[in-house]
Structure 1
């Protein structure tokens, strides 16, 4: 297993496949395991980099997530890209991973070729929304989600879920915008996607359209099929979408 250290964090990652680099980022309370099947598929065409975000999956478990969670993860990924000598990368992030992907494009524009941002909450997370997420996760623990989380994180899955929930509440209190109002700095092509039937994100089309309007080179695709996240609930549809989008960008 491969790890990279940053400050007090130990981050798990793995690399496989050949071709242009494609960094794939999971969502909150999930891990790279969630994306493994899709990563194996994409590895037929791209060099895949899978990571577990701070405190998730096989990364070192911590008692408190960093206050500015997305920026902290951006710094870790930046160090990882330097270590792997990646001069240009494409990024596919889903849910919280999409927020991280866009923040990375803001902060490391010189190495980001293309971003695909799927099924995320948009620019803002209110305190009320963060508290609701926490409450819904408590209910989900009793309704079978514990099996999913245990598979993602191991025996200490509940610590990950609870720590992430507290981070979201604290983040909503501290920051008004998931991107620090810097979306306009993104210069690479960005594909933003979502299901209109997403059961976790209310008004997803309005939220993501607002994000897209601030990125000059953005494209949006919404479908009335699928659920949360779109990339896993409509796999064949999404695979075709990603391949078509990246082939145009990469001139394949």
Structure 2
């Protein structure tokens, strides 16, 4: 669970972890957050859900971002799309906090067919 899988999105590398079993649940952390903090929040749900957490662009083990324009919510929502695609997941329960909520909302508006809840 501690070793991430790395996927590419928009020319950047994202560090992703997946653990647990059940319906897929993907969560995007907030500004200054990372997947390590998120893991602590979701470990207790791993017996009910397949948890997918990742370092959003510019955070922790994801590629650094030097251009503020790359923090655009649409680009970040497409990172979420890339994570789901990497695991061949068509539909998931989605969530996020703070900046991650903006990512999740933008994802849901752009891809409503991929949102379970």
Per the normalisation by structure 1, the TM-score is 0.43
In structure 1, the partner of 2:15 is 12
Q: Which has the higher contact order (CA 8 A, sep 6+)?
A: 2
Runs of 4 or more consecutive aligned structure 1 residues displaced over 4 Å after TM superposition: none
Partners of 1:77 and 1:18 lie apart in 2 by 20
Count of residue pairs the alignment pairs up: 114
Asked whether the equivalents of residues 15 and 62 of structure 2 are also in contact (C-alpha less than 8 Å), the reply is: yes
Query: Could you say what secondary structure the match of 1:33 adopts?
Result: helix
Query: Could you say what secondary structure the match of 1:66 adopts?
Result: helix
Asked whether the equivalents of residues 57 and 71 of structure 2 are also in contact (C-alpha less than 8 Å), the reply is: no
Q: Which has the larger radius of gyration?
A: 1
Question: Higher helix proportion, which one?
Answer: 1
**Where does the alignment leave 5 or more consecutive residues of structure 1 unmatched?**
115-252
Partners of 1:16 and 1:65 lie apart in 2 by 31
What value does the CA root-mean-square deviation take over the aligned residues? 1.4
- Deviations 1:45-88, CA, capped at 9 Å, x for gaps: 10000011111111011322334521111112112212211121
2:58 to 55, 59, 81: 55
**Where does the alignment leave 5 or more consecutive residues of structure 2 unmatched?**
none
Asked whether the equivalents of residues 55 and 65 of structure 1 are also in contact (C-alpha less than 8 Å), the reply is: no
In structure 2, the partner of 1:74 is 77
